[in-house]
Amino acid sequence: MKMDKAVEADVEAISEEIKQLRADIERIIGLLGQTARHGGDEAYRQAREASERAWNEAKSTAGDVVNRIETKPLQSAIAAFGIGLILGLLFGSRR
């Protein structure tokens, strides 16, 4: 049961990161729109298409991660723990 809560927490964290990524991409699209209005409609169209491709790829990658976590929750939890441990050792305070 404890692993299930950890996996749920990881999935929730990923979901929050995806929401933040979407907000960031929307801000970028807005900035690109401003730039394109100054540079022309063609530049805007190209920038918009590039942003949409990036967003679609991010959604696809996030979907793949969620599917992997759902199909192999124990291995995902162990991997998340290992990564967290390594990052903690790398970035932890040294006294």
Whole-number pLDDT of residue 28: 85
Query: Residues 38-73, buried b or exposed e (16+ Cβ, 10 A)?
Result: eeeeeebeebeeebeeebeebeeebeebbeebeeeb
Return the pLDDT at 94. 61
Global pTM?
0.41
Which tens digit of pLDDT belongs to each residue from 1-51?
Answer: 455 777 777 778 888 888 888 888 888 888 877 776 776 677 777 878 888
Q: ∠ CA 82-83-89 to the nearest 5 degrees?
A: 90
